[in-house]
């Protein structure tokens, strides 16, 4: 109810009289994408993040008469959003990926879904790109700060450590500003930041994992990847992966390590027959991604999996394969494709 009222006030035409709340929320609209990215990093869920952004704007609307302008509107909104996220985390389970829960599985053993686990969700690049200035350095930071491995690792941090790391290392707030928001000391903030950095050091992307989307080597690798999975060419699939590559596929809790295990999993457990797949490129979490469609009896293609890739040099280092047709709608992908849809090169 309140959310609908809030949207209505923002969408009023220039001839309508607006109170301070409506005027402030209208001024705050340019920050919506970056607030969504911030809430997503905190919560690991696009749906939860969207709810928390709406909650942020509602709280801003209600508190508009108390905004004195001592800080920028952007800073004030981040204060509200961070506190809203911290409150929400208290009543939510953390969102893991399968590789954060146990040892690698046996590709010969049948897998079983565990939909009751609140798994980490991917986010389409289109929903957060452009959230910050177009400076290339800032764009690179934005992309790397949304990577699945990092967002998954963040979920293992205590909530306040999570907030400190994001505010200090991603948003570049001063320690004193973070201390004021969290109502603690600067020394406590610095200590929390040090502990958070130590825990996340192993998920920081290496230089060769941050190649640009139009890099020729990466583009060639992705074309080979799409073609191999469309053909279900197991030998070609095995050649794509680094020796320590990881494959995981929520809502299945099992995960697998190494090219041979990934190839065997594809061979014995993937229900697609050779030639029945169709790969459509997209982008998620600042990483290359593919929507994999499967051919049905009528000849058309239906949603099957969403593959989010981490590339290292000339090889694939990590694939998170999300199962669920609802994700295709979130990414703006068609619910079906015709039988004559073009295949990848």
Q: What is the pLDDT of residues 79-119, one digit of tens each?
A: 999 999 999 999 888 999 999 998 999 999 999 999 999 99
Within 10 Å of residue 229's Cβ, how many Cβ atoms? Answer: 24
All domains in the chain, ordered by first residue: 2-117+127-203 (1.20.140.160), 209-330 (3.10.450.50)
The mean pLDDT of 261-289, rounded to a whole number, is 95
Q: What is the pLDDT of residues 228-240, one digit of tens each?
A: 999 999 999 999 9
pLDDT for residue 221? 96
Residue 327, phi then psi, degrees to nearest 5 = -65, -30
SS3 call for 233? coil
Helices (H), the chain: 2-11, 20-28, 32-43, 46-62, 73-89, 136-144, 148-154, 159-165, 175-182, 186-200, 216-231, 234-240, 259-269, 326-330
- 213: its two tokens: 């989307």
The mean pLDDT of 279-308, rounded to a whole number, is 94
Q: What is the pLDDT of residues 19-42, one digit of tens each?
A: 777 888 888 999 999 999 999 999
- Residue 304 CB contacts under 8 Å (≥ 6 apart), including other chains: 272, 277, 292, 293, 294, 323
- Between vectors from CA 24 to CA 21 and to CA 30, what angle results, nearest 5°? 140
- The structure tokens 């990483």 sit at 287
**Which of 106-135 are b and which e, b meaning 16 or more Cβ less than 10 Å from the residue's Cβ?**
ebeeebeeeeeebbbbbbbbebbbebbeee
Q: Is the pLDDT of residue 207 over 60?
A: no
> What is the band of 9 on the pLDDT scale with cuts at 50, 70, 90?
very low
Q: What is the pLDDT of residues 306-320, one digit of tens each?
A: 999 999 999 999 999
Rounded distance between C-alpha atoms, residue 290 and residue 281, angstroms: 4
**DSSP β-ladder status, 287-295 and 301-312:** antiparallel
pTM value surpassing 0.85: yes
Say what percent of the chain tops pLDDT 90. Answer: 73
- Between vectors from CA 83 to CA 41 and to CA 73, what angle results, nearest 5°? 90
CA 251 to chain centroid, in Å, comes to 16
Rounded distance between C-alpha atoms, residue 197 and residue 204, angstroms: 10
């Amino acid at each position: 109810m309140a959310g609908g009222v809030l949207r209505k006030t923002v969408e009023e035409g220039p001839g309508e009289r607006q109170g301070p709340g409506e005027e402030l929320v209208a001024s705050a609209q340019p920050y919506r994408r970056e607030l969504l990215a911030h809430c997503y990093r905190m919560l690991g869920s696009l749906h939860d993040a969207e709810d928390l952004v709406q909650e942020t704007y509602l709280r801003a609307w209600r508190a508009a008469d108390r905004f004195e302008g001592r800080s920028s509107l952007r800073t004030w909104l981040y204060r509200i959003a961070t506190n809203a996220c911290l409150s929400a985390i208290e009543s939510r389970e953390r969102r893991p990926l399968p590789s954060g829960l146990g040892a690698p599985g046996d590709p010969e053993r049948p897998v079983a879904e565990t939909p009751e686990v609140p798994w980490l969700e991917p986010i389409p690049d289109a929903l957060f790109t452009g959230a910050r200035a177009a400076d290339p350095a800032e764009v690179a930071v934005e992309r790397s700060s949304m990577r699945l491995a990092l967002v998954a690792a963040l979920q293992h941090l205590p909530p306040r450590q999570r907030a400190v790391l994001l505010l200090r290392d991603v948003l570049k707030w001063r320690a004193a500003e973070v201390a004021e928001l969290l109502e603690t000391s600067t020394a406590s903030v610095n200590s929390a930041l040090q502990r958070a950095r130590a825990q996340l050091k192993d998920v920081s992307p290496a230089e060769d994992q941050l190649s640009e989307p139009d890099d020729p080597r990466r583009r060639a690798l992705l074309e080979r990847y799409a073609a191999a999975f469309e053909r279900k060419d197991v030998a070609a699939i095995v050649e794509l992966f680094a020796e320590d590559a990881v494959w995981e596929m929520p809502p299945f809790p099992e995960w697998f390590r190494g090219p041979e295990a990934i190839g065997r999993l594809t061979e014995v457990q993937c229900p697609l027959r050779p030639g029945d797949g169709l790969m459509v490129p997209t982008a998620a979490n600042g990483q290359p991604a593919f929507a994999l469609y499967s051919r049905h009896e009528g000849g058309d293609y239906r949603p099957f999996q969403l593959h989010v890739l981490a590339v290292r040099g000339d090889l694939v280092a990590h694939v998170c394969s999300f199962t669920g047709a609802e994700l295709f709608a979130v990414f703006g992908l068609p619910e079906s494709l015709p039988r004559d849809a073009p295949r990848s090169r």
